[in-house]
Structure 1
Amino acid sequence: MNRRLLIWLPFAVFVGLAGLVLYGLYRPDNTVVRSALVGKPLPEFRLAPIAPGKPGLAAADMKGGVRLLNVFGSWCIPCIAEAPQLMALKNRGVEIDAIAIRDTGPAVQRFLTENGDPYARVGDDPRSQVQLSLGSSGVPETFVIDAEGRIAHQHVGPINANEVDDILKAIEDAK
């Protein structure tokens, strides 16, 4: 191989890698996560209560009306940012239940006192077993559950103020 070409080879590799990185940075994001469980029944589960004065949560509790199931942690910063939107949904008549992931009762109580309490029930998932069975990969994550106990919609990440109407539409669509 010609020596001049060998001298330019590292530069060409660098330019190629830089181009690949720039492409990855500037291509449009695909923020839609397609869950394999949408349209399917909730997996069976029964979680003990974690918040004082609130019942635990079971899959059977999620039948009979459209409601939200929020997966959260008191230690989760995006969950704090999401709290006002969950309160706004509750104030608009949305029933919301929750699963607390790898948490403690006092920490959950403090979280609810400081950030508002939109939840009817809060179940304790100390090893994230139910979270994983739902196909949830992190917190916060919110599921719209229809009256038959099927997952109608999955929202990954915190619900932002501009997404409240989208969640209300998903709830309406699940009726």
Structure 2
Amino acid sequence: MFPRTREDIAAVRLRDPAARGAFEIWLTYSGMHAVWGYRFSHWLWTARAFFLARVVSQYVRFLTGVEIHPAAELGRRVIIDHGSGVVIGETAIVGDDVLIYHGVTLGGTSAEGGKRHPTLGSDVVVGAGAAILGNITVGSGSVVGAGAVVVEDAPEGSLLVGVPAVARPKRGTKAPKDCFNYTDPAIYI
């Protein structure tokens, strides 16, 4: 667990210009506390201690304002910046090196069993207040704008903005036009 904690702290230092040092991150970053608490509750969940895993996850939610279901799958170096109000549902899958800002929801759109929450690829940034809903995939290297509501799959390297969000290629992305929901090349950002 300690090598992962060091890796998380190093990731925050690289991506957050306000981070002044490892001790400060370890002591004061509630988003990181939520991720570390999730890892413990996820370990309990995979050990089939379901009730205890839920108790731990709810205690972490009480302390940090971040709710991560213990059955969700989070990759390495996931950063929850500012934390408060983040919700990550039971069947959500989050790749490595993902940056999530406050008020983000990775939620379901169905009460039926099975996979009902989103999958985020690696190197995704999710802006404040965004909602990514349902059994959809946001490709690696994508950026979800603040306040966007994503309800459809998005290819790698997408910029997702709006309600509902429309996938556009990020600046410098070389992707076939038919991967995105537009025809006008003038909207490249």
Between structures 1 and 2, the one with greater helix share: 1
Larger-Rg structure? 1
User: Using CA pairs below 8 Å that are at least 6 residues apart, which structure has the higher relative contact order?
Assistant: 1
